[in-house]
Amino acid sequence: MELNQQSDWVARSLRSVWHPCTQMQHHETVPLIPVSRGQGVWLYDHQGKRYLDAISSWWVNLFGHANPRINAALKQQLDTLEHAMLAGFTHEPVIELSEKLSALTGHVLGHSFYASDGASAVEIALKMSFHSWRNRGHSAKQEFVCLKGSYHGETIGALAVTDVALFKDAYGPLLRASQTVMSPDARQATEGETAADVARRAAADVERLFIEKSDRIAAIIIEPLVQCATGMAMHDPLYLQLVRELCNRYSVHLILDEIAVGCGRTGTFFACEQADIWPDFLCLSKGISGGYLPLSLVLTRDEIYQAFYSSDVTRGFLHSHSYTGNPLACRAALATLQIFEEDDVLRTNRIKADRLTAALQPLAQHDKVRNFRQRGMIWAFDAIDATPDFSRRFFATAVEHELLMRPIGASVYMMPPYVLSDEEIDTLANNTLAVFNQVMAG
């Protein structure tokens, strides 16, 4: 396609599309890239220029763009049933998916409630927690606890348990107050402290709050192992074990938001498996549909489900969304889970992760880099002396080097699709180093 046609797409988009998480004026200097197609880890623009999707298009894509197996499953589903409402009706894809997810939790979390995006799953978990306490006669339990730097989505309820000033401050007057406790971010370790020591300190902060007011707290919400949107802040699994014990002792629900870290991203299918615990509510979205269609869900325990089971309609969980349990999205999720089973994905990811970690050593050792870190298929490092516009300049420079990357502040991260070849791993590492050097050189 001609350059002027590509420019035409940009002009039309900027006139009519209000892009997410964007100060639109920045597009006067930052490029907007019209994507024409995707294949594997690559996205292509209308001129055929390619970009390695190093952040899996906002952390959703697991097995590459236009994956033949997911495509085939969707095409078949499209000719069978595209959508049917889930109240009063049910269908094979949603039943099979719920059964498979239950099995993946050893049937501890045997009930799945569906929605479309991550923030809605968070809203559901918060509402279910509060309502289940109320149904059990504990209506004073109305408050929620979140971690410093936490991110759980941007609808009003989810934003209330988010602690990122950039997203939250403007809407302060609209939001319900929540309690914020210390993050277990291992980067806070003082001289001689280990990540486990930081985890213990952070858990002690939770206990302080629970001692003071657990009778008014419904739940604590945590993104396990990696607080992604705050800049890939990683913590020791011990923290999750300690908080699980505290939740048991003080009768507070544990909500784990695995929207970004679930589906193998941290090395196990669910991040909480590394701490050998299960929450009361587990939120899943993003990768569960392979990055194809909006799908989210909340998995919960039988005792929560039983708190709503009654002849009284108002004791039921009456929440709904029009596309709840959409068959196409569920089919994409089933095809995704099938790839996990057939390809031994968690094992092959470990081999890929070792290779990328090795290839990234020049960055890990770079004199302008600190806190190089990795867990599963997530890598991150912090730039020393980054300018305030570091992230935007990095994005623009990365695009020139065939990379799609969007640092969070001064934290550069990679969360690629799992289907990277060895050659693509080397390209990702080498080009990231080149981009970093160019940006740091100003």
Closest residue to ligand PLP using C-beta atoms: 118
Q: What is the torsion angle, in degrees rounded to the nearest 10, for the CA atoms of residue 322, residue 325, residue 329 and residue 335?
A: 180
Residue 278 annotated as binding? no
Q: Cα–Cα distances in Å, from 325 out to 83, 263, 282, 306?
A: 9, 18, 17, 21
Residue 58 annotated as binding? yes
Residue 322 annotated as binding? yes
Q: Count of residues for the chain?
A: 442
- CB nearer ligand PLP, residue 60 or residue 198: 60
The answer for residues whose C-beta is within 8 angstroms of residue 224's C-beta and 6 or more apart is 237, 240, 256, 257, 258, 261, 266, 271, 272, 275
CB of 228 to ligand PLP, least distance (A): 5
Residue 251 annotated as binding? no
DSSP assignments along 38-86, one per residue:
EEBTEEEETTS-EEEETTHHHHT-SS-BT-HHHHHHHHHHHTT-S---S
- CB nearer ligand PLP, residue 259 or residue 345: 259
- CB nearer ligand PLP, residue 121 or residue 440: 121
Give residue 299's region: left, alpha or beta (phi > 0; psi -120 to 50): beta
Q: Are strands 411-414 and 226-227 parallel, antiparallel or unpaired?
A: unpaired
Which residues would be at the binding site for ligand PLP (CB under 6 A)? 117-119, 122, 151-153, 223, 228-229, 257, 259-260, 285
CB of 237 to ligand PLP, least distance (A): 17
**C-alpha 388: how far from its chain's center?**
25
312 half-sphere exposure, CB direction, 13 A CA radius = 6
- CB nearer ligand PLP, residue 391 or residue 431: 391
* Angle, alpha carbons 141-146-266 (nearest 5°): 125
- CB nearer ligand PLP, residue 55 or residue 202: 55
Residue 148 annotated as binding? no
CB of 293 to ligand PLP, least distance (A): 12
- CB nearer ligand PLP, residue 145 or residue 363: 145
How far is 337 from 352, CA to CA, in rounded Å? 19
How far is 305 from 285, CA to CA, in rounded Å? 21
CB of 212 to ligand PLP, least distance (A): 27
In this structure, is the dihedral angle defined by the CA atoms of residues 235, 237, 242 and 243, taken in order, positive or negative?
Answer: positive
- CB nearer ligand PLP, residue 411 or residue 431: 411
CB of 153 to ligand PLP, least distance (A): 3
CB of 124 to ligand PLP, least distance (A): 12
- CB nearer ligand PLP, residue 129 or residue 397: 129
Residue 286 annotated as binding? yes
Helix 327-343 × helix 92-104 angle, to 10°: 40
Residue 257 annotated as binding? yes
Write out the two tokens for 202: 């952070």
Residue 165 annotated as binding? no
CB of 429 to ligand PLP, least distance (A): 24
CB of 286 to ligand PLP, least distance (A): 7
Cβ proximity of 180 and 171 under 8 Å: no
User: Residue positions in the annotated binding site for pyridoxal 5'-phosphate?
Assistant: 118-119, 257, 321-322
Question: Which residues carry a binding-site annotation for substrate?
Answer: 58, 151, 286, 320, 406
Write out the binding residues.
58, 118-119, 151, 257, 286, 320-322, 406
